[in-house]
Amino acid sequence: MRYGRELLKGSTDHLLLSLIGQEPMYGYQLIKEIGKRSDGYFEFKEGTLYTALHRLEKVGLIESKWERIPNGQERRYYYLTKMGQRVLNEKRDEWRGFSAAVNLVTETTNVG
Amino acid sequence: MLPKLKQYLARVKSNSMLDPKAESEVVRELQTHFEDEIGELCQTGFSAADAADEATKRFGAPDALGHQMYEVYSQGTRNQALLAAVPHFLLALTFGFSLWRNDFWLLTTALTVLAVTVYAWRHGRPSWFYSWLGYFLIPLFAVIFLVLLAVGQGLSWFVLGSGMQWVMITVYVPVALCLLGYIIVRVVRRDWLLASFMMLPFPAIVVWLVAQEQSVGLVWYGKGGFESANLGMAFTFLALGGAAGVFIRLRQRLLKIGVLAVATLLILGIVWRFAESDLNPVICLLVSVCFVSFLLSPWLLQNRVVHRGSEMEAWEEACLEQAAKRT
C-alpha cells in the first residue's frame, strides 16, 4: 500500500496532465474521474489535489477559468497549455519506456 | 455556510497567508468542492453536519493544506525578485553617484516609490510590493526620528521654528505614528514575515542616521551630512537589494526568516565598518542582534492580531447562531 502511495506521489502530475489534456475539468470532477478510471486504486487526499493543480498552474503547465455548469453554479475549470502538452508528451514517453523496462525485467524473472 | 466548513477554510486561510486575490480564488474553489461533495454525501443519507465532517476529513488537515498552498505561492519569479530589489537599488544609486544633491532625482525617486506603492496596494499586494511599502514609510519614520532627535537636543526651537515645532509634535508625530501602526497591523494580519521584509532597511537606516548624527550632525547640516557616507550607504543598499531578491525567490518559510536575520547582521556589519564607529565590536554585535529581534518582532504582533481576529469571528458566529434560533 505504501509502495502504491509512493508511486502515486511520483505520478500525480502525469495523471492530472493526462486527464486535463483529454478534457478540461474542475477539481471535484478530477477526483471522481481518477477514482473511476483507476477502479478505486488511486485515492487522492483532496487537499493534495488542489496543491498540485495550483503548482502546475503556477509553472504554466495548465491554466484555469471560472465557468458556469448546467445547474447555474460556477466551477474552476483547468485547461492544458501548450507547454503542458509538451511536458505531457515527454512524461508519456518516459512512462512507456519505464513500464516496458519493468515488464521486461519482471517477465524474465517469472520465466526463470 | 456550515460552521465546520467556515472553520476549516479560516484555518487554511490563516496558514496559507496568500495575497487577497489568490486567497479569494483558493477559498472559492475549495468552497465549490465542498458544495459538490456535501451534496453527494447528503444524497447517500448523511445529514448536512455529518456530511461536512466527512468532507473536511477527506480533505486532510487544514493547517497542512495551508502550508502547502503557502509553498506553492511563496516563491516569486526572477522579475518579481528584481522588482523587490529596485527600491533598494534606487537608493544605492542615489548614494553611489551622490544623486541626493540633485533635487529632480530625489523628487522622481520619491514619486516613483509613491506611485508603485499605491498601484500595487490597489492591485493585489504581491510580495515584492512590501519592499516598496517599506520605503514609502521611511520618510514618515525618518521625520519622526529627526523631530524627536531635535527635541532631545533642545534644537527644536531653532530648527523647526516656534509655530512649526508645536504642529510637528502635537499633530504630525501622532498622526504619522497612527498611520505607521495601521499599515503595520494590516500587513501583519496577512503575514508577519512580510512586515519583517517591509522593515528590512529600517535597522541599517537607523544605525546610519545615528552614526551620521554622531559624526557630522544631521540636524545641523541636513542632507549635507551624508557627504562622508556615500560609499558605505551605496554598499548597504546594494546588499539590501540582494537580500530582498533572495527573499522573494525562496520558497520555504524558515529559509526566508534565515535570510532576513543573516542579511541584517551582515548589512549592519557593513554599516559599522563604513560608519567608522568607535563602539566596541561586542557592543556592535549586541546592538545588531537587538535589531534582528526587532525585525522579527511582528511575529509577536501577529499572535495578538490573529487572536483578536478569531475572538471577533467567534463573537460574530455566536450572534448569528442566536439570530438563527430566534427566527
% of residues, chain A, pLDDT over 90: 55
Say which DSSP state B226 is in.
G
ipTM: 0.85
Spatial distance between the Cα atoms of B114 and B110, rounded to a whole number of angstroms: 6
Q: Hey, which of A79-88, A99-108, B214-223 has the most confident mean pLDDT?
A: A79-88
Between A27, A45, A73, which is nearest B29 by CB? A27
Q: How confident is the model at residue B184 (pLDDT cuts 50, 70, 90)?
A: confident
Average pLDDT over chain B, rounded to an integer: 83
B263 Cβ under 8 Å from any chain A Cβ: no
Task: Looking at mean pLDDT, say which of A13-17, B139-143, B175-179 comes out highest.
Answer: A13-17
Burial per residue of B268-289, b for 16 or more beta-carbon CB atoms within 10 angstroms, e otherwise: bebbbebbebeeeeeebeebbe
Section B50-67 average pLDDT: 90
Residue the block writes with cell 542632507: B223
A58 touches chain B (CB under 8 A): yes
Does residue B26 belong to the interface with chain A, where contact is any CB pair within 8 Å? Answer: yes
State whether residue A76 sits within 8 Å of chain B by CB.
Answer: yes
Residue B278, min C-alpha distance to chain A (Å): 50
Q: How far apart are CA B5 and CA A59, in angstroms?
A: 29
Query: Hey, of A26, A51, A62, A69, which one would you mutate to test binding to chain B, going by the most B CBs within 10 A of its CB?
Result: A51
Q: What is the mean pLDDT of residues B197-217?
A: 81
Looking at A30-39, A89-98, B76-85, B145-154, which range is the least confident one?
A: B145-154
Query: Using the beta-carbon criterion (under 8 Å), do B26 and A55 form an inter-chain contact?
Result: no
Chain A interface mutation, best of B29, B75, B251, highest count of A Cβ atoms under 10 Å: B29
Interchain pair A28, B73: CB under 8 A? no
Bigger pLDDT: B33 or B278? B33
For range A48-63, the mean pLDDT = 94
pLDDT digits (tens, 9 = 90+) for B103-117: 899 999 999 999 999
pLDDT in tens, B132-152: 999 998 888 777 777 777 777
The residues that bridge with A75 in the sheet, in sequence order, are A67
Predicted pLDDT of residue A50: 94
Q: Is the CB of residue A14 less than 8 Å away from at least one CB of chain B?
A: no
